Amino acid sequence: MRENVCVIGLGYIGLPTSVVLAQAGKQVIGVDVNPQAVASINSGKAHIVEPDLDGLLHSVVARGALRAQTEPQPADVFVIAVPTPFTRVSMSLT
């Protein structure tokens, strides 16, 4: 059985992770809120700069192992790769 994986967030962590999972035989749906990023990924072109990613991405998209969209769908596994907001927290050490 081929597992379906939904990766939420297709940035510097989510997109390479999606490509590696697709190369490993998983059926991957990548989700991003940026429609331009989704269109770029679906055409086999990375919207981020990462060595060798364009060729690998093109390969898994051409095989149908990875597709991007703006809405999540049911999957066996979910990976959440979105930016973690952080702020400077003042702490008093007494």
- For 21-42, the pLDDT digits (tens) are 999 999 999 999 999 999 999 9
- Complete DSSP assignment for 7-70: EE--STTHHHHHHHHHHTT-EEEEE-S-HHHHHHHHTT--SS--TTHHHHHHHHHHHTSEEEES
- pLDDT grade, residue 64 (50/70/90)? very high
pLDDT of residue 63: 97
pLDDT of residue 81: 95
CATH number for domain 4-80, candidates 3.10.129.10, 3.40.50.2300, 2.10.10.100, 3.40.50.720: 3.40.50.720
Q: Compute the average pLDDT of residues 8-32.
A: 97
Compute the distance between CA of residue 67 and CA of residue 27 in angstroms, rounded to an integer: 9
Residue 5: CA atoms inside 13 Å, Cβ hemisphere, count?
Answer: 22
